[in-house]
Chain A
Amino acid sequence: MTTVADAPDQTPSAGTGSTALDLILRFRALGLLLALAALIVITASVNPRFLGAQSIRDLLFAAAVTVLLAAGMTVVVLTRGIDLSVGSTLGLSAYLTATALSSGTPVPLALLVGIGAGAACGAVNGAIVHFGKVPPLVATLGTLYVFRGIVYFTAGGSRVNASDLPRGFLDFGSGAVLGVPYLFIISALVLAAVAVFLSDYRAGRDLYALGSNPEAARQTGLPAGRRLMTAYVLCGALAGLGGVLYAARFGTVDASAGYGMELNIVAAVVVGGVAIFGGSGTVLGAGLGALLLTVISNALPVLRIDQFWQQAIVGALILAAIALDRLVGLRAARALRRKASHVD
């Protein structure tokens, strides 16, 4: 029997209250956490050093950029889009930031250069998708090559060395508080901000609506163009910020920074339970997905498993995630149907 909401004062959590959908989503986060925990426990039992402070720090360093980009990618995927150019965007931003810094630009300004370059890349993607009506997959596949080409053109085979960058910037890049790298803290904060934006702001909810049913969005008069631009610019800006973090962490930047990164990010998002056809998923899930993939790639060498298997495991995880979605979707649909059939 369907009942009209009776307890309006249940503390509204960050999610949508206690709907079936919400439970499934939370359940998904739980599943990811369990997988993470299991992997860590197994790896640590083989080699206790895996849980050492240094090892964890390395892991969080590696995760910082992935998590950040996964958050951006989620925003785009929710609208039924995808951004394959994030790796190139990151490369462009990293190179521009490093060059700016090496020629004496103050750090805050260089930061703006990096993020700005990313946002500009995002705006290009958004414009091609919205105004050009080009499918996002094709549009961003194109810009993947274009942006990378721009980096190669400007870099021309040269690179920026760590010794050219200001000390403070590099110290920040390798610094940590209580064993947690600053870079990871930045990523986590950004992720939290994006999560709040997506769940609690009209513009964020509009992105879900757009991905869920574009035709209905048009009928409802949602500002589709503006929202799509927001999504792509946000994704680009986060990739730009990722480039800044990349430069801070490695110091040495050449034209190949972030090469081939995009598929890892898409994988993280899918494993994290964001529907590739838009409309559902959370950045929290995507962040956990990114963390899980990072842990896998760090744990396998410890477990002495071949590099080859890493790819296979990531592939299997993606398939498992999709299968799980199908299953949960079917179950939910059946449950809802049963529920609905008792109404009248």
Chain B
Amino acid sequence: MAVESDPPPPQPHPVIALTGVAKSFGAVRALVDAGLELHSGEAHALVGENGAGKSTLIKILAGLYRPDAGHIEMDGEAVAFTGAADALAAGIAVIYQEPALFGDLTVAENLFVGRQPRGRLGRIDRAEMRRRAAALFERLGVALDPDRPAKGLSIADQQLVEIAKAISLQARVLVMDEPTAALSGREVERLFGAVDALRRKGTAILFISHRLEEVHALCQRVTVMRDGRRVSTDPIEAVTTDELVRRMVGRDLSAMYPHRETEPGDVVLRVEGLSRTGLCRDIDFTVRAGEIVALAGLVGAGRTETVQAVFGIEARDAGRVSIDGRELRSGDPRAAMRAGVALVPEDRRQQGLLLDLSILRNATLTRRHRLSRLGFLTGGAERREAAEWTGRLHAKYGRLTDPVGTLSGGNQQKVVLAKWLATGPKLLIVDEPTRGIDIGTKAEVHRLLSDLAADGVAVLMVSSELPEVLGMADRVLVMREGRLVGELARPAATEEAFMRLASGQEHIGEVRS
């Protein structure tokens, strides 16, 4: 979506300026020499690889971390924040990469916690709070009940609550750390609309994203970070996407969608008549050895629900799933794992990782049995294994024994991938494999997937990124409203063909080759 960029009037001082900021966690130097200037009425993009230090920088801005060196100025005056409350009081609102809601409180209370509207005797005015919450959601076009508890919201909805909360703060500076990673196209558009309205009223915006198209659509200026340092700051028109990528990665990028022609082998996965009440119906498909099949569709089409039923995380209500001709028991992921199926889930924090355990443990969790000798975990084998896979994925970390929770968002995602790739699966199911992963690693993940396919692994991929789907898949299965509505084979798989099927403008789109 395009946003006209009216050049902001020249200002004497940036609203906020960080210079020479450094921050280390033990031996990990997250920030070495970072800097940033935000101007009123301007949207500023911050881009960089996973682990470049983006989230750390904004946590300093938000008062959550104290920098080891460097200074922060607001309106030309030095400031020091000792907690989130300070930064909030100074007018800085932050949407963090990982939404953190209060599960036991209602959605409305989550929006207004600490600043609930008060009535007589200082008591909380719940009716008013609900009214404001509803108004806010209406403005953002979000269909959420303010009175429901926040527990159990999908990541997208959690993210929307965080966005609504930050917007309602009417801050002078609005910081957004990958707010769009879990959102659908429509929601992103609404978010951008709301953010742009704020910007026109003079709010300074800081926007972090790995989707460079979004950066171009929303922002007027862009700062690139690499290894904890500022590489450059430019007006957005002055740099091409390729140039941005080169600065982020520090080298030229290999092909984004390496595709190898492989001769598909035997059928590995066969799904017949799979149904889950209210979620998906009568799904039939197969995946062969050496083949990459994408399950595509708009958000909410039932793709995640389908793969979860295939893997057995959720029981199916009808239908058969078989691996190499042997049927899998419904609702039994262990059986699926034993049969050689691996699933990399969509929501890494809740389903994929034990945040307090080390990277080592997490990366090898699924392999424990094979690595143990005489019932003991053999440290050496475990370590080698973890080092190999995290290395192949360019995961950036201090030591393998650090808790996974201390990794950057994208690097956590890589550990989840490593964990499942290490099982050496026959069928690899990946749900949004590159969400939150930087562009360099994205190409790497793609190369890895096609290598695996070339080695005879059957790959089933769910992705909301159309270029990824079209670039990687041998066949694209299109879902809409819980049903499989068509199949596109490689040459016929184009954006228009997909959109026609996914949005329901054409029913019989089967092009088999």
Contact = CB atoms under 8 A, between A and B. Distances in A.
Contact of A211 (B83, B104, B116, B152): B104
Contacts of A216: 100-102
B148 A8 contact: no
Interface string B86-112: 111000001010001111111001000
12 contacts: A3-B145, A5-B130, A17-B126, A18-B147, A21-B106, A201-B123, A202-B124, A205-B116, A206-B114, A221-B84, A340-B154, A343-B154
B157 A343 contact: yes
B369 interface: no
Nearest to A211: B104
Given A4-B143, A5-B147, A21-B149, A213 B103 contact: yes
Interface of A: 2-5, 8-9, 12, 16-21, 196, 200-202, 205-206, 208-209, 211-213, 215-223, 275, 279-280, 332-333, 336-344
B190 interface: no
Contacts of A332: 149, 151-152
Contacts of A4: 134, 137-138, 143-146
Nearest to A279: B104
A219 B96 contact: yes
Contact of A200 (B123, B133, B299): B123
Contact of A336 (B64, B104, B109, B149): B149
Contacts, number: 143
B85 A19 contact: no
B284 to A, nearest CB: 22
A275 B151 CA distance: 15
Q: Indicate the member of B63, B84, B305 with the most A CB atoms within 10 Å.
A: B84
Given A219-B100, A279-B104, A340-B154, A5 B146 contact: yes
B85 A16 contact: no
A344 B300 contact: yes
Contacts of A333: 151-152
B104 A280 contact: yes
A88 to B, nearest CB: 30
Contacts of A275: 104
B99 to A, nearest CB: 9
Contacts of B62: 219
B327 to A, nearest CB: 26
B170 to A, nearest CB: 16
Contacts of B144: 2, 4, 343
B131 interface: yes
Nearest to A11: B127
Chain B binding surface, main DSSP class: loop
A252 B124 CA distance: 44
Given A19-B106, A220-B84, A336 B134 contact: no
Contacts of A9: 127
A336 B127 contact: no
Contact of B106 (A16, A201, A220): A16
Q: Which 3 A-B residue pairings sit nearest by Cβ, starting from the closest? A: A221-B84, A221-B85, A336-B152
Given A19-B147, A212-B103, 15 more contacts: A4-B138, A4-B144, A5-B145, A5-B147, A16-B147, A196-B123, A216-B101, A220-B113, A222-B85, A332-B149, A332-B152, A336-B153, A340-B157, A342-B278, A344-B300
B64 A279 contact: no
Given A12-B126, A223-B85, A206 B113 contact: yes
Contact of B124 (A200, A218, A280): A200
A12 B117 CA distance: 14
Given A17-B130, A343-B157, A208 B104 contact: yes
Given A216-B101, A218-B84, A220-B84, A2 B143 contact: yes
Contacts of A280: 104
A209 to B, nearest CB: 5
Contacts of A205: 105, 109, 113, 116, 124
Contact of B105 (A5, A212, A341): A212
Contacts of A220: 84, 113-114
B278 A341 contact: yes
B122 interface: yes
B151 to A, nearest CB: 7
Contacts of A212: 102-105
Nearest to B149: A21
Contacts of B96: 219
A72 B94 CA distance: 35
A208 B114 contact: no
A338 B278 contact: yes
B279 interface: yes
A12 to B, nearest CB: 4
Contacts of B106: 16-17, 19, 21
B118 interface: yes
B87 A336 contact: no
A213 B101 contact: yes
B184 interface: yes
A333 B184 CA distance: 24
